[in-house]
Amino acid sequence: MRPFEGIKILDLTHVLAGPFATYQLALLGADVIKIEPPGEPDQTRNIGADKALNALGMGTFYLAQASNKRSITLDLKTKPGREILKKLVVRSDVLVENYRPGALAALGLGADAMMALNPRLIYASMSAFGQDGPRASQTGYDMNIQASSGIMAMTGTETVNPLMLGPSAVDYASGTTGALALVSALFQRERTGRGQRIDLAMIDVAIILMGSHLASYLRNGALPKPRGNRHEMATNGGYATKDGYLVMGASNLRQHRRVWTLLGRLEFIKPTMQERRDNREPEAKALAEILLTRTAAEWEDLFQANHVPAARVRTLAEAVGDPQLTTRNIVHRYDKTPSVPGAFGVPVAAFKFAHGGPQVDAPPPTMGEHTEAVLAELGYGKAEIDGFRSTGVI
């Protein structure tokens, strides 16, 4: 039995952070119902590298976080649509939304109203800047939060900055944080019997991602600078090799000593972190010359065999092809599904359980694929459902 079997989640989120949060619980057994306005699909359905899938409303950005979910369409701007949502709320454990703050409350679907219907409900709102404060009404995606938080200002090099991070890291970190908040609230409810109101802001998540830099700044006003692949100590950072790029992570004093012992340059071994910082430039110059004498793979093998963190820079294709990934079961591959022509793969969770862990059970649904089934569960008959469809409620 997985941790959240029997838990019902209403997913009124779109794009990346919200859907990723609910996806984590869906992998762990929750019944997640994704709700989209008819005619207004989640934009990720039309985003990805495969244009044909985008045209089908099954873009790869959507596929990556939609397995195990059920999909219904519902126009919450209509009275019948709101009544249907309320019926779902009464029998659900969690509602997650990432509309503009105040938008659902204006429709009578805010946290207070929904928790009055179901006092055990966990109502989670995910937004760019939170539900209160002077910027609460502002909206933003990952790139905007990177810009607002200070992440972008510290990313890049001295001459090329600011830069965005490659992946939408704040989105996925917000989704992971959202999942943690949801499971924490569910655990708390087991003890108290009470529902919970969750207010998650992407800007807060971005600040937390810079925790060590934040502490330094709050202590002495030190602002992090963009320094590319350079670290304050030479044996941490990136270097060119005979055929590619190597990133070293010889951070502690033991690893630092191992590097210079392996390379036969004992004069660079320093007994303290500060002396390593002070001696950075001579060490870096020596490393840059020495590492050009072998390939990145040869250096990676040598350093790793001697317990020195080091890795050659791989493409995504090389990383996915690494046999290590096969042992981790991080990818679920579909040979074929009714809604997606051809094979494809999706990420699973970034951890394993000894038993009852995360797994993919069902393929990503087409938009509204389960509308009739879910409405039937609520007691609506075929004539009523047909009427909802003809009037644009679903």
Residues serving a catalytic function are: 171
Q: What is the DSSP letter of 230?
A: B
What CA–CA distance (Å, rounded) separates 123 from 200? 11
What CA–CA distance (Å, rounded) separates 292 from 312? 13
Nearest to 201 by CA among 174, 225, 230: 174
Helix extents (H) in 38-120: 51-56, 60-63, 79-90, 103-106, 111-117
Q: Are 64 and 101 in contact (CB under 8 A)?
A: no
What CA–CA distance (Å, rounded) separates 376 from 143? 41
What CA–CA distance (Å, rounded) separates 373 from 272? 66
Q: What is the DSSP letter of 309?
A: -
Q: Which two tokens stand for residue 210?
A: 């810079």
Q: Which residues are within 8 A (CB) of 100 and not within 5 positions of it... i.e. 6 or more apart?
A: 127, 137, 139
> What φ, ψ does residue 139 adopt, rounded to 5°?
-115, 170
CA atoms within 13 A on the CB side of 9: 32
Q: Are 233 and 251 in contact (CB under 8 A)?
A: yes
3-class SS letters over 290-327: HHHHCCHHHHHHHHHHCCCCEEECCCHHHHHHCHHHHH
Beta strands in the chain (DSSP E): 8-12, 31-36, 69-73, 94-97, 122-127, 196-201, 236-240, 245-249, 310-312, 331-334, 344-347
Q: What angle do CA 122, 143, 132 make, to 5 degrees?
A: 40
